[in-house]
Amino acid sequence: MTKLSVNVNKIATLRNSRGGNVPNLLKVAQDIEEFGAQGITIHPRPDERHIKYQDARDLKKVVQTEYNIEGNPIGSFIDLVLEVKPTQVTLVPDAVDAITSNAGWDTVKHKDFLKEVIDTFRHNGIRTSIFVDANIKMIEGAALTGTDRIELYTESYAHEYAKGNKNGVIPFTEAAKVAYQLGLGLNAGHDLSLDNIKYFKENIPHLLEVSIGHALICESLYLGLENVINMYLNKLK
């Protein structure tokens, strides 16, 4: 079964909008695990507009499943990850002012930088993953960095699926096959939803984990958080 890691950034956004502690991020993360999710993901950004760096530290104390921290490996992010020591760190090349992630790494151009960062994390017992497009050249480049896994950036798949074009999954299927041949573990995320997750899962071999936040929280407004998590788990079997 492909694991479901729930990104709780949107919970932090809602909390921050009122300046208090409602909803309680730590309690929501614990509830998500109790409802059956196999991981918690956060993506702290330098301006701390949703997840705060202190949240990353506090969540470490309560998360009992897999703990995944995503982000651009600038100095403050690297220091945070080394302090917290999550299960996994996912390296994402987003700009400081990015609203959301919108591209994977150029693993050829940034090979030396990525290798240096990955070596640092791996020497501290932290599994590493690189956010990449479904591009064979970039996946081959990722394998040369020493990363444990890649995370496929799935926005283009979700966009094509919404238009009724199921062939949009083909580049991801091919990318998954190449990743497996190169010995890379495979994660995926971005714009995956209850509508498109089952077809993606059925067509992506060796898919270890998906990270879902925005869609899952939006769907939960109508259907309820516990119900939605179990709906995802059923589709990922």
Looking at residue 95, its amino acid is: A
Instruction: Determine how β-strand 39-42 pairs with β-strand 185-189.
Output: unpaired
pLDDT recorded at residue 94: 79
In angstroms, rounded to a whole number, what is the distance separating the alpha carbons of residues 199 and 57? 36
Q: Are strands 149-153 and 185-189 parallel, antiparallel or unpaired?
A: parallel
User: Catalytic residue positions?
Assistant: 43, 70, 190
Task: Quote the pTM value.
Answer: 0.95
For 9-55, the DSSP string reads HHHHHHHHTTTS--S-HHHHHHHHHHTT-SEEEE---TT-SSS-HHH
Q: Which residue has the tokens 């403050």?
A: 76
**Under a CB-based contact definition with an 8 Å cutoff, are residues 113 and 127 in contact?**
no
Give residue 95's pLDDT.
66
- Measured between alpha carbons, how far is 70 from 56 in angstroms, rounded to an integer? 11
Q: Which domains does the chain have, with CATH numbers?
A: 3-235 (3.20.20.70)
Average pLDDT along the chain, 237 residues, taken 10 residues at a time: 97 96 98 98 94 98 98 96 98 71 88 98 97 98 98 98 98 98 98 98 98 98 98 97
Q: Which helix (H) or strand (E) holds 153?
A: strand 149-153
Rg of the chain over Cα atoms, rounded to whole angstroms, equals: 17
List the one residue out of 25, 45, 56, 153 whose CA is nearest residue 99: 45
